[in-house]
Amino acid sequence: MVTQDALQVITTIAESVGALATAAAVIVALWLARRESRVRLSITNGIYHVIAVGQTMQNSPQVIHVRATNESFRILKIAGVTWQLGRWRKKRLVVALPGAGANSTKLPARLEYGDDASFYFPLQTFPADAKVVLDAIKASKSPRRALKKLRVGVYTTTGHEITSPIDSTLRDWLSKHLGL
């Protein structure tokens, strides 16, 4: 038979387990709610050829392509493209709003889960369009290091900036263009 003391110990253990389970459920619920509201974007970039039907690769224009894909469950509005230089004290350098390319996403871009926005900068006009960025790289103490630290991304209407290191094709082209 179960004694009164044993019954009291079992009841205490059951109540403790119930309290721990309740606390764990609250923690998980808060974590899920916070995760849902977090901004998560995937940024890709690089230099690409834009080839029309019947066009050869030699005749096709090259563009710098920056793409942002919404990986969060909240709806985001992208306000523009940002270039960042430096690691600890980041200098934020904003290039003129994209739109020169006919295929660029119009700003502000509203992105739901899984949607993406693509921005195209013609390679021929990029040195003039991104003069601020190129001048900042040249003016740095070590232009090669600055080029390795260069990041590109987007900023949202809520003030979030999501960046990614530049692609090796873009880094090589910038290095060649700047004479590094």
> What distance, in Å, lies between the first and last C-alpha atoms of the chain?
87
**Looking at the domain 39-178, which fold is it?**
Immunoglobulin-like (2.60.40)
Tokens at residue 166, please? 């530049």
Q: What is the DSSP string of 80-108?
A: EEEEEE-SSSPEEEEPPPS-SSTTSPPSS
Query: Per-residue pLDDT tens for 50-83?
Result: 888 888 888 888 899 999 999 988 889 998 888 8
Q: Does residue 43 have a pLDDT over 60?
A: yes
| Main-chain dihedrals φ then ψ at residue 32, nearest 5 degrees | -65, -40
CB 121 within 8 A of CB 102: no
pTM of the model: 0.74
**Residue owning tokens 């021929």:** 124
Are 83 and 111 in contact by the 8 Å Cβ rule? The answer is no
Mean pLDDT along residues 122-133: 85
Number of Cβ within 10 Å of residue 96's Cβ equals: 14
- Tokens 């090669």 belong to 144
Percent of the chain with pLDDT over 90: 22
Q: CA torsion, points 133, 139, 143, 145, in degrees to nearest 10?
A: -80
